[in-house]
Structure 1
Amino acid sequence: MVNSIKRSIITMNSTKQAFMVSAMKSGSGKTLITLGLINILKRAGKSVSIYKTGPDYIDTMYHEKIAGSPSTNLDPYFLEPEFKPDELKKLFFRNLKGDIAIIEGAMGLFDGIYGEGKRCSACSVSEELNVDVIMVVDMDELDNLSAYLQSFTHRVKAVIVNKVEKNTDINMIRSRLNEIGLFLIGYLYFDTNFHIESRHLGLYEPQKDIFNIVDKVSDELSRTLDFNMLEDFYVEVAHDTDITTEALNIKPRKYRLAFAYDEAFSFTYEENIKVLEEYGFEIVKFSPLHDKKLPDNVDVLWLSGGYPELYAKELSSNTAMLESIYNSDIPIISECGGFIYLHKSFENNEGESFKGVGLIDGKAFKTKKLVRFGYIEIEAGSDSILIKRNQRIRSHEFHYYDSTCNGDYAHAIKANKSKEWNCINAHDNIFAGFPHIYLRGYEFLLQNLISFLEREKDV
């Protein structure tokens, strides 16, 4: 019997507090200030719904640690309006459960698909959702802000200035912003302790002292933040488009899915877990690092992305788990880090080679730069456990590793059509490759998987 869960109907003319935090570029401190704002609002007794634009896994981990609730990826490419009309809006409002919504924009405000203006940028998300933007700007970037914002239309209303020297005239900053039609909503004095360790185009996984750092940032930002002005940021919950969400049929738990989740494998979309559960999958988390075998009585294995290269020795030494996965006859889905782990061998960051599961007949090796980085569209060349011939999905790749066996099951084309290549190993019960998988809006992937499971059951 199918249990039907009714989602709430959107009330006309209602509003909720909401804003986006963005910057001119990566590395301007927007994640730290977003965390500070979440913490400040939590201290005030507010419940906060958090979002991140783009295909980001690590910032959402930080959000969840500070907010105590999951963060939702709002990816403007996977759910682009011309491709999936109104799906991004539905996703936003479906997860808008708190008193206030904070959306952290990826990279710079206008950074999207290279060569195509602000397409699929944080700015495009703010415009689709009708949410205004607070820019985080370093003090030494302030002179460039006006010219930057003239590049494209936008919804920027206010600024938080970061790394302000103690003797700076704040009224001077306020006047300079007023001259270009913006408001100073807060500022943060320069402090070498206000730092989150970062890597190229993103952060490392959350530091142990992140709570102490965010508490200190919150204390300082609370002294300068204009809370009255913050209340002027809101989103109209009603839109011209009908965004009432239909009743979802939540299927009874019929399949057990072993989901890799530990220090080495932690990259997944929260929305993927929700979609899997909606389609009747019981998620059984396990650790390829620490467990000795797959969970009992599972029907599917999902190896998510992560940093297996940082734990290469430990993963390789856990031979019982390697053998458990190698000898399993269940469908295996692996993406990026999970794909690396499935190889006969893979390198760590130092270039040392270690034994992998062995289901991919090749070696995963470290390169000196990002490989095939960016948004892509994938078309399947034949049927597999996940995608049928000629079906298409949107995806992205982000990795410094390459493989001697990338696969040729599918063909990938970059979103701006600048490059194309073959990818993914798909045969028998395996679907494995560097492209990351996103399920919301692509539920046919699970329909295909369930059909495969049903056929196997009937054999």
Structure 2
Amino acid sequence: MNSTNKKAFMVSAMKSGSGKTLITLGLINTFKKKGESISIYKTGPDYIDTMYHEKIGGSYSTNLDPFFLEPDFRPNELKNLFYRNFTGDTAIIEGAMGLFDGVYGEGKRCSACVVSEEIGIDVVLVLDIDEIETVGEYLKKFSHLVKAVIINKVPLDYDIDLLKEKINELNLILLGFLYFDESYHIESRHLGLYEPQKDIFKIVDKVSIELSKHLDFDVLENFRINIDATISTKYTNFDKPKYRLAFAYDEAFSFTYTENICVLKEYGFEIVKFSPIHDKKLPDNISAIWLSGGYPELYAKELSSNTSMLNSIALAENIPIIAECGGFIYLHKSFENNNGEAFTGVGAIDGRVFKTPKLVRFGYIEIEAKSDSILMKKNQKIRSHEFHYYNSTNNGEYAHAIKANKSKEWRCINANKNIFAGFPHIYLRGYEFLIENLVKYLERKTNV
């Protein structure tokens, strides 16, 4: 087998909020300053962290989702995706939540731990200083994965020799540490992190300087993985695009997977980005419209006041419209902003979107189509997730959804004529049949 030995590791933690995103960004920046090219990844269905990765790394970040590409559901897809996108000198994977946090009630299923096992990659655990006393028990079952730790929020007067001694007693390597500094702060919001803040470069530069002082980079050189060169190749794109896809992308609509764009291009779509906030109409000569997720509730006034764009989309009756979560909200007759005030939407969905006090239908789901549509055929299944504080008076009856742990089920998605719209987020890698169905629909339209 023709293979290449490359440096690769995962950054994880015992729980959310330990600083793994900050340290991941610091590591990306540090390696970049050393002249290394970095391939960046994030486990789980995350949009915001990948934006941060891309801001700092200067290249796209790949979601390695252990539910969408679960080995018994899509064999080898997750590992192959990692290989194909490992084009740099070093791969850094940021794990979602805690290392063993997976599907609720089903142990480590679909956790960052599962991704590290599937790929065969070592883990660097980020610990708050107060977690040292409990990490030994935490790692008892899975300690073979974790090779080293980085300690965060170390008091300035802490005895570093004592710190090393405590970590050595756990048969772990103290890779490095960061002294406590209240300026190391990335803002959070009700849906996770904010989109990348303006001073993020200043914060990450400061972290990089400190990591350079207190990190043992020689240890990281031992974190290696063999990349199968026969797998590590890009997918094939069409030489010449056949279709123009109007893809919403601005402050309100920014949640999309890089792999979705890749799949669309592979199937002959030219991606034409447009802004529902700033542009007055849809791009010319388009074959389809994609309204991705985001924060329409934060820009409700701007979206609603752009009546020419609302009309442009509403009048696109013969053009396929795919809308997920935020895009679905925007398609309604009316939707509420973050303060509960109602604003006019496109009107393609006969309903009202309203804010709720807690997450609605939160988590991983499996969806089964009950009839044919522009994206799915009857009885076809996909995996997805919902993550929102909003609900609709018209969630749709097209598909059956069931949570990953089988604890709850419901109907979802509006699908009729040219529309496929609902709260579930769409992931295309491993579910390429969705785009095959769309292409067949467009071909039938062309031949009529």
Asked whether the 8 Å contact 1:251–1:279 carries over to 2, the reply is no
Partner of 2:330: 341
Q: How does 1:228-239 map to 2 (within 5 A)?
A: 228-238=218-228
* Residue 157 (structure 1) shift: 0.5
Shift of 1:252: 2.8
- The answer (yes or no) to whether the contact 2:255–2:294 under 8 Å persists in 1 is yes
Q: Is the 1:20–1:132 Cα contact (8 Å) retained in structure 2?
A: yes
Gap change, CA 1:104 and 1:246, over 3 Å in 2: closer
| Kept after mapping to 1: 8 A contact 2:400/2:410 | yes
Q: Secondary structure at the match of 2:313?
A: helix
Report the equivalent of 1:4. none
Deviation (angstroms), 1:149? 1.1
Pair 1:373 & 2:362 matched: yes
1:333, 1:430 within 8 Å by CA — same for their partners in 2?
A: yes
Change (3 A) 1:151 1:199: farther
Q: Which residue of 2 aligns with 1:147?
A: 137
Kindly tell me the number of residue pairs found equivalent between the two proteins. Answer: 447
- Per-residue deviation at 1:238? 3.9
Q: 2:2 matched to 1:11?
A: yes
- Quote the residue 1:122 is aligned against: 112
- Alignment partner, residue 162 of structure 2: 172
Aligned partners of 1:106 and 1:122 also within 8 Å: yes
1:303 corresponds to which residue? 291
Counterpart Cα distance in 1 of 2:223 and 2:160: 23
After the TM superposition, list the runs of 4 or more consecutive aligned residues in structure 1 that deviate by more than 6 angstroms.
Answer: none
Who is 2:372 aligned against? 383
Aligned partner of residue 408 in structure 1, secondary structure: coil
Which residue is equivalent to 1:327? Answer: 315
Q: 1:220, CA displacement in angstroms?
A: 1.0
CA contact (8 A) 1:86 1:243 kept: no
Instruction: With the length of structure 2 as denominator, give the TM-score of the two structures.
Output: 0.98
Q: CA 1:247–1:274 in 2, change beyond 3 Å: closer, same or farther?
A: closer
Per-residue deviation, 1:11: 2.1
Gaps of 5+ in 1: 1-9
Q: For residues 235 and 343 of structure 2, what CA distance do their matches in structure 1 show?
A: 48
Amino acid at match of 1:113: V
Per-residue CA distance 1:311-337 (angstroms, 9 max, x = gap): 000000000000000001200000000
Could you report, residue by residue, the CA deviation over 1:114-154 in whole angstroms, capped at 9, with x for unpaired residues?
A: 11111110000001111000001000111111111125465
Q: Matched residues in 2 for 1:222 and 1:229: separation?
A: 13
Q: Deviations over 1:6-57 (max 9, x none)?
A: xxxx723x31000000001111110000000000001100000000000000
Secondary structure in structure 2 of the residue aligned to 1:160: strand
8 Å CA contact retained: 1:90, 1:245? no
Query: Which runs of structure 2 are paired with 1:247-396 in the superposition (5 Å)?
Result: 248=236, 250=238, 252-329=240-317, 330-396=319-385
Distance 1:217 1:354 in 2: 42
Secondary structure at the residue paired with 1:69? Answer: coil
Letter matched to residue 443 of structure 2 = E
Where does 1:87-106 land on structure 2 (aligned, <5 Å)? 87-106=77-96
CA distance in 1, matches of 2:391, 2:137: 39
Moved more, 89-98 or 150-159: 150-159
- The 1-side partners of 2:43 and 2:288 are apart by 29
Q: CA deviation at 1:202?
A: 2.4
In 2: Cα distance, 1:209 partner to 1:301 partner: 34
- Equivalent runs, 1:220-231 vs 2, <5 Å: 220-231=210-221
Equivalent residues of 1:116, 1:416 under 8 A apart:
yes
Q: Provide the C-alpha distance between the structure 2 equivalents of 1:246 and 1:138, rounded to a whole number of angstroms.
A: 39
Aligned to 2:443: 454
Residues 197 and 204, structure 1, Cα contact 8 Å, conserved in 2: yes
Q: For 2:394, give the aligned amino acid.
A: C
Worse-matched range after superposition: 292-301 or 230-239: 230-239
The 1:24/1:366 distance shift into structure 2, 3 A limit, reads same
Tell me, in whole angstroms, the C-alpha distance in 1 between the residues paired with 2:348 and 2:234: 41
The one of 417, 421, 425 aligned to 1:428: 417
> Which deviates more, 320-329 or 196-205?
196-205
* Contact 2:237/2:268 (<8 A) preserved: no
Deviation track 1:70-115 (CA, whole Å, cap 9, x = no partner) reads 0000001111111111111110010001000000000000011111
Preserved CA contact (<8 Å) 2:235 2:266: no
Query: Which residue identity lines up with residue 101 of structure 2 in the other structure?
Result: D
Aligned to 1:215: 205
Partner of 2:285, secondary structure, is coil
**1:123 touches 1:154 (CA, 8 Å); kept in 2?**
no
Q: Which residue of 2 aligns with 1:412?
A: 401
Find the residue that maps to 2:208 and give its secondary structure. helix
Counterpart residue type for residue 85 of structure 2: N
> What's the secondary structure of 2:394's corresponding residue?
coil
Mapped contact 2:10–2:92 kept (Cα < 8 A): yes
- TM-score, normalised to structure 1's length? 0.95
Query: Is the Cα contact below 8 Å between 1:46 and 1:98 reproduced in 2?
Result: yes
Identity %: 72
Q: Which runs of 5+ in 2 are unaligned?
A: none
Q: Calculate the aligned-residue CA RMSD, in Å.
A: 1.4
| In structure 2, C-alpha distance between the alignment counterparts of 1:163 and 1:73, rounded to whole Å | 28
Amino acid at match of 2:253: F
